[in-house]
Structure 1
Amino acid sequence: MMLRVGTIIPVLGANKISFAGALVFAAGLGAIPHMPDAISLGAIVLIAGAAFGALDVAMNTEAAALESRLAKSSMSSFHALFSVGNLAGAGICGMLLRQDYNIASCLGTAGICVGALVVFAYRRSPSDPQSFQARKVGSSTRTSYNSAENRRLLLLGGIAFLALFAEGALCDWIAIYLVDILHTTESTAAFGFATFAGAMALGRSIGDYCNNRLGSIRVFRGGALIVAVSVSCTLSTGNLALVFLALFFAGLGISNLVPRIFSSAGRSQSIPSSVAMSRVATMGYAGLLLGPPFIGFIAQSTSLVTSFVFIAVAMITVASGSRLTDWSKQI
């Protein structure tokens, strides 16, 4: 769905795709707890996932177009709100469950909130957003583009794959590492994950300032290297305070990688921004999906410590591809 939506956005507009995708996703959230069997549950999850994929590509395409019009970095701020929303949603649902509300109430409330917010936003958005029209390149029916840009976009997608591979692996395996390797309590492990996730939100909130002041390539390369060093420090010490410090810096370092990659995808010179965004996002989220099970497979075959080495290597590779995020740089 993410690949297909890139060709639909130039026809219908990013705002309409965002509106439709968010509404379908909101309806899916509310419907999930009421499915009577596994088949219907699988169907509704599939539909909701496809809607969210379309929403993701459309939102990032429009955000990249707005960033281009502003002529300064702003993508990290949008992703910071995504991170804050994740934390807020988890916190609110946790409080509801603690007050003896069931999961149906949690998902239903979430669906209503998403639906209300998207209607509010859509009613105040331009019917024919010039921001996207300004970034649309060529005809929406074109199927072949500059071969050099195609290759560069493929490489950028590979960087997105590795960045989200590492992000997904860290999100899913940090707590398990703390419990199994450092023998902490589950509550301490949860705090370790919160440290990482909170640092990501913080990093994205200041990411645009850093990009505008220091340069986006420096921030991107430095962030990836900070993650690699932080993961290496985590593996080399048993001191819990140092591990938590390393997790904090890992969250800061990784926070602005994906926003910068998506921003770069939206600045493609000859390929329509929505098509470029859909390709890069699809490859990136493939990494997000494959990262955690790959780490688990390596951990089962060798050890969890060994599996984390792959995260550090992925980050070093991402850092080496930092020039791909700037279309003015030759590769």
Structure 2
Amino acid sequence: MKKIGVLTSGGDAPGMNAAIRAVVRKAIFNGVEVYGIQHGYQGLLDGTIEKMELGSVGDIIQRGGTKLYSARCEEFKTEEGQQKGIKQLQKHGIEGLIAIGGDGTFMGAKKLTEKGYPCIGVPGTIDNDIPGTDFTIGFDTALNTIIDAIDKIRDTATSHERTYVIEVMGRDAGDLALWAGLADGAESILIPEVKDDFGEVIDRLKRGHERGKKHSIIILAEGMGSGFDYGKKIKEATDLETRVTVLGHTQRGGSPSASDRVLASRLGSYAVDLLIAGKAGRMVGIEKNELVDHDIVEILNTKHSVDLNLYHLSNELSI
């Protein structure tokens, strides 16, 4: 293999730039040319493809977002769109592709692999919702951004003796809410993977209020619905002064943590190794701090799950 491409697709995540850097430099180290595809699969269809050199990825390891930009592309989901993308790959002589993103990105990689273009998926999403890896690129940074925000909110919650509902991202997965809630001592954590017991949430708030607790923090995963609706329900059930904060896209931004930079560097480099070794249709990941790779089809057909031991531990510590 003499030429490979790299793209980022879907929602951006801190650490994507570190992964791009690793792909480019590991490939060049092994005598392989690298072509950067801007704006994900949309850029592939549009032909916004440029050769990357060592200097192309200089001074980006510490930057959030993605140098290659990102976009969602409905056209690429069609047979016609995929054939159009293949023509662009052929035009530039690209023999393999590394796609950095989430499950939608991996679906595109799967389709290309089935049509004869070897692809490797690198999990980059703050949601941490990709099976086959303990952590995805961006999760640790987003988690620390959330924790920093909760710490600040706790200060004002204490000052005004209020209950705060904090809505965090995660799409249909509860990892961000679960880890943030445990790390910051939230009274209740509400995630899609566990049935919502509103009565228990209210009982816990009342018990705390009765023993003189001045404030409470409740973490709500966005997959559970609107934080404002939940806050209204709590106010009606308890008559406690309740405020709601939706952290939104601040969770996606910022300089990647050391953990995300190292993870991205390891996964990006390993993806290049797999392509050079002639492997295709794989996703790279990390399990128990060891690099692993899985069949993309199996990953796409596997349901994500959270560590319920952490959920139960949080409940035990928030009595």
TM-score between both structures, scaled by the size of structure 1: 0.28
Normalized per residue, the structure richer in helix is: 1
Normalized per residue, the structure richer in strand is: 2
Which of the pair has the greater relative contact order for Cα pairs under 8 Å at 6+ separation?
1
TM-score between both structures, scaled by the size of structure 2: 0.29
Higher CA-based Rg: 2
